[in-house]
Amino acid sequence: MTATASIWTISHGELLLRLVMAVLMGGAVGIERELHNHAAGFRTHILVCLGSTTIMLLSIYGFSQFVNEPNVRLDPARLAAQVISGIGFIGAGAILRNGSVISGLTTAASIWVVAAIGLCIGAGFQYAAFCCTALLLISLLVLNKWEKYLMRNRRNQELSIKTRNNPIALGQIVNTLIEEGLQIVNVKMIRHEAATATDDLGETSILHIQFVLNVQNPVKLIMAMERIRALDFVIGTESDVRSLDNIGRVVSQAHS
């Protein structure tokens, strides 16, 4: 009876050690996310890992006083299963969508894996927790750079152009993009009524044109945007290129 009861008990020192391990392993992953300015960073990953560890400890050892009751059956996996399904709500909060660009999926996945690490720590499966943490950090740090290198010329960029409702607008913009060597993947046009009855050119509405482009050389996209902005009927342009500052310097040096 004593041996059976010892399976369902844990010393205060061991319990504290597992909680500290959860803070360290969750924090190690969180630092990487924090350094890259993601929504869920250092503290979020610590809290997720620490919380899942605490729930696992509660599930295994929190009901040890009932272990010898004849009508009670302990199931250590019951609370753990709820963590796996419930952590999705936190992960969903890290996913953002801007037009056709979706970001935060990797951070949401890291939160889910950190929860699994916490469950392993709480269950005393430390070796699996260490291995999972190491592989997760390798995936976030090393494979991230490798992926960016392989996909550097295969990223689609979104270009949004606001123009007056001119019948030649779309044709001239498309010609400009093609002349700059940009491949058009998708086009969407949305017409909005102007605030006033007519503008200076007699137009009664404004056209939003959204392009999805295959951009192998971001500099060409910037050059195309400069040419498009110079068109009389164009009101403004916006792109989701993340390195506009660096690309702008390259374009300026090319002009000089």
Q: Name the β-bridge partners of 206.
A: 164, 192
CA distance 41 to 107: 9
pLDDT over 70 at 55, yes or no: yes
Domain ranges in the chain with CATH number 3.30.70.260: 156-255
DSSP state of 84: H
Strand partners of residue 160: 210, 238
Q: Is the dihedral of CA 48, 91, 238, 224 positive or negative?
A: positive
- Tens digit of each residue's pLDDT (9 = 90 or more) over 107-137: 888 888 999 999 999 988 889 999 999 999 9
Which two tokens mark 39? 């929504």
CATH of domain 156-255: 3.30.70.260
Could you report the per-residue pLDDT of 64-103, keeping only the tens digit for each?
Answer: 777 677 776 777 777 888 888 888 777 777 776 655 556 7
Mean pLDDT, rounded, for 139-166: 75
